[in-house]
Amino acid sequence: MPIQIGIIGDYNASAPTHQATTAALQHAAAQLDLEVDSIWLPTDTLEHDMVQLEEMDGLWCAPGSPYRSMQGALQAIRFAREQGRPFLGTCGGFQHAVIEYARHVLGYQDAAHAETDPYASTLFISALSCSLAGKALQIQIDPASRVAAIYGQAEIVERYYCNFGVNPDYQTTLHNGGLRVVGIDNLQEARIVELPAERHPFFLATLFVPQMQSTAAHPHPLIIAYVRAAAAHHARAVVTQATTAGL
């Protein structure tokens, strides 16, 4: 049975980042000799139908913000975080992973995103001082992080497609609250966040868009690691089902 990856987002066939998201999963699957089915989950359907998430071996919150339903996107991210489901967030997915964590773990119930609520009093996601759309920039990685182990190096260059990021006023609050900032740019601003392995099997989000650099010949290492984590979840689920059936 194929590994099921649910992509949180409102699919647009003309969006290069959406095309790249589906393709990058297949690049990684081929590299790992696995079969992966990617299923786009429209955010508005996630407001009231959470059952579909139970069938997923992993969830990926894709670019495309603002989503049709911010509530739906946040509920799906929360499901992945609380249920230990492998999670990857890129671009808008990174931003909404931060909002979800701020609201439901740190207790900032009014945590907001400047793109959809620019005058909110608690903006965890704010406009960047300079747009990163179309830019490829260097990132320094915490050598003790999961991300460093995946890349095998402490400095990387990745490409962005965004205009919003973590509000610097809340960056330390986020990090000290458990969603660790493990990748920063030359201004010390957050570009990668993760939950440590003792708290989650795989929960990682990047402001950049790794899928845009993935090719069939060279799948992106982050996406390979993510698919491998989803495959591990799938294997555990199969064993659990077999054990339950045997009882």
User: Contact 167/118 with Cβ under 8 angstroms?
Assistant: no
What integer pLDDT is reported at residue 134 of this predicted model? 84
What does each C-alpha distance from 241 to 52, 85, 93, 236, 245 come to in angstroms? 18, 17, 31, 9, 6
Confidence of residue 246 (pLDDT cuts 50, 70, 90): low
Single-letter residue type at 154 = A
Whether this prediction's pTM lies above 0.85 is answered by yes
What integer pLDDT is reported at residue 247 of this predicted model? 55
Query: By C-alpha distance, which of 106, 110, 55, 104 is closest to 77?
Result: 104
Tokens of 93: 């997915």
Query: By C-alpha distance, which of 34, 17, 14 is closest to 230?
Result: 34
Confidence of residue 223 (pLDDT cuts 50, 70, 90): very high
- The answer, yes or no, to whether the previous bond of 66 is cis (omega within 30 of 0) is yes
Neighbours of 107 (CB within 10 A): 9
What pLDDT digit, counting tens, does each position of 84-121 carry? 999 999 999 999 999 999 999 999 999 999 999 999 99
Neighbours of 149 (CB within 10 A): 12
What pLDDT digit, counting tens, does each position of 196-205 carry? 999 999 999 9
On the question of pLDDT at 206 being above 70, the answer is: yes
Q: Nearest-5° angle of CA 52, CA 9, CA 180? A: 95
Domains belonging to the chain, first-starting first, are: 3-246 (3.40.50.880)
Query: By C-alpha distance, which of 58, 120, 119, 69 is closest to 96?
Result: 69
End-to-end alpha-carbon separation of the chain, Å? 22
